[in-house]
Structure 1
Amino acid sequence: MIRVRFVICIPLLLVAFPAAAQQATPAAAPASLATPPQAPAAPATPMPKAVLTPPAPQTSASDEDDAPRANTLPHELSPWSMFLAADIVVKAVMIGLALASLATWTIFFAKSAELGRARRRVANALKRLRGVSSLEDAQAALAQDRSVVSGLLRATLHEIAQSHDLPDDEGVKERVASSFTDLVRTDARAARHGTGLLATIGATAPFVGLFGTVWGIMNSFIGISKAQTTNLAVVAPGIAEALLATAIGLVTAIPAVIIYNHFTRSTKSYLELVARASGLLTRLLSRDLERRHMGAPISRAAE
């Protein structure tokens, strides 16, 4: 009986033991094969900024010197700021040219008024002498006149009074013509007074401005050699200040030349009117001298 039971149990054990082993093996396997827990991965750190940015360009010693110098440069290159920053010699040149320009315009307005007034007086005197047939009538017509024509008439009457006892009429005419020449020359000198300064300014102002420019550029190059840099921001202000002198010289010279030519033409036109007046008085003198030969009095004004 016992053997029967043992025989029966052996197959049951053989069947039950593999099943139990299969159930126990998956549970134990994870425990035996399990690896220790790993620490959580650290978050990726960003790359240093120095790696992401491109390397800075290498600077030389001269560039480092230019950086503070550039901050001191004028931000506005206006004529006034350039004048204030210019060298003392360049400033003196600019001031001299400015005074020359002021003299030019002063002469222009003064001489325009003077020549215009003299021209009107001579033109009015010529109108009054129209239709006059003797020196006596001319004296009456020019009683209130203050032009050069009145001076010519007085010189004529004075010469007649000084030569009343001389028989040669040609000598009287020559002496009157000589007096006319002196008076016209004096009046022409007065009309041209001041225009010589205009010619001088027009001829020399560009060269004076050029001298200021050369001096300023020379100082700029000296500054470049001291700074040991050719940076345009350092060089440009000095060159601009130097060129300002040439610009002022041209601004002074061009109006002076134009105004001088204008006064040359105006003076020539005025002297032509004076020549017409002197010719008219010469003809009146010739008529009066012929009347004296005919026994008629020359003029009561000459006595």
Structure 2
Amino acid sequence: MEQEALGLAQEIDFSLLALFMRATFTVKIVMIMLIVASFWSWSIIIQKFISYRSARASAEGFDRMFWSGDPLDELYDNMDGGPKNAPERVFAAGMTEWRRSHREDGRLIAGAGARIDRSMDVAISKEAEGMNAGLSFLASVGSTAPFIGLFGTVWGIKTAFEDIALAQSTNLAVVAPGIAEALLATALGLLAAIPAVIFYNKLSADSDRILGGYEAFADEFSTILSRELDA
């Protein structure tokens, strides 16, 4: 009897596609959700790596221009078509407010330093919104995907026990397919969650470093302009 059950179990297709196709509708929905979440997470991860690398390159290039010794007004005027990247936008925000703070007689309007700082802070906040976009999705996938997969597993095991009751048999040919289909949901949940958590932490740290560089530049630029205000 055991040999017969083993023979029947060996004839069952346990490939991923076969397990998916044999799963119940509810478990299929769970699996599809996890697969979509995984692909979406990887698209965000790849896009962020590309954009962060571009942001670092732009910051390095702008630093070289800013500290080249050229006059700041000349650097600002040479931005044909407006600022093209985040460092230039932060710089342009400060320079725009600097110029607006001058009266027609050449004197500065009171409170120019505070307004310049706020202008650059607003520009950095806007850059932070774009830079951190999508990271909350990674965090959500990392925290919820295992539980969604577990729900699919629980539902699949429930169905497997129902099949056992209907067949009134606990041999391997009856038990194995349902349990394997149920565990696939948990595996997909972990497959979606683990990369999401790892790269969320990595990308969050990279974002903080890049934004910290913008804030450091804003402080240095504000210091330079404060000397002009004191003069």
**Interval of TM-score (by shorter of Structure 1 and Structure 2):** 0.7 to 0.9
Tell me, what secondary structure is at the counterpart of 2:111?
helix
Aligned positions of 1:77-88 closer than 5 A:
77-88=14-25
CA distances 1:212-264 after superposition (whole Å, capped 9, x unpaired): 00000000111111111221221111011100100111011001111111110
CA distance in 2, matches of 1:225, 1:106: 43
CA distance in 2, matches of 1:74, 1:214: 25
CA distance in 1, matches of 2:218, 2:11: 65
| 2:92 equivalent to 1:157 | no
Shift of 1:78: 1.5
* Two-structure CA RMSD over aligned residues (Å): 2.5
Contact kept? 2:102, 2:108, Cα under 8 Å: no
Shift of 1:71: 5.2
1:270 matched residue in structure 2:
210
Shift of 1:284: 2.4
Aligned residue pairs: how many? Answer: 225
Bigger CA drift: 193-202 or 149-158? 149-158
Aligned positions of 1:157-236 closer than 5 A:
157-165=95-103, 171-236=111-176
Please give the TM-score of this superposition, normalised by the length of structure 1.
0.68
CA distance in 2, matches of 1:79, 1:259: 26
CA distance in 2, matches of 1:263, 1:172: 36
Q: Name the CA shift for 1:284/1:140 in 2 (closer, same or farther; >3 Å).
A: farther
Residue identity matched to 2:92: R
CA distance in 2, matches of 1:151, 1:271: 13
| 2:192 equivalent to 1:252 | yes
| 2:76 equivalent to 1:139 | yes
Contact kept? 1:199, 1:257, Cα under 8 Å: yes
Contact kept? 2:91, 2:120, Cα under 8 Å: no
Larger Rg: 1
Q: Name the CA shift for 1:251/1:201 in 2 (closer, same or farther; >3 Å).
A: same
Identify unmatched segments of 5+ residues in structure 2.
none
Contact kept? 1:135, 1:284, Cα under 8 Å: no
CA distance in 1, matches of 2:218, 2:68: 16
Aligned positions of 1:27-106 closer than 5 A:
74-106=11-43
CA distance in 2, matches of 1:257, 1:230: 39
1:114 matched residue in structure 2:
51
Please give the TM-score of this superposition, normalised by the length of structure 2.
0.87
Which is helix-richer, 1 or 2? 2
Identify unmatched segments of 5+ residues in structure 1.
1-62, 292-303
Task: Please identify runs of 4+ aligned residues in structure 1 that moved more than 4 A.
Answer: 70-74, 140-145, 166-170
| Structure of greater relative contact order (alpha carbons < 8 Å, 6+ residues apart) | 2
Shift of 1:280: 2.5
Q: Name the CA shift for 1:73/1:222 in 2 (closer, same or farther; >3 Å).
A: farther
Bigger CA drift: 171-180 or 143-152? 143-152
Bigger CA drift: 240-249 or 144-153? 144-153
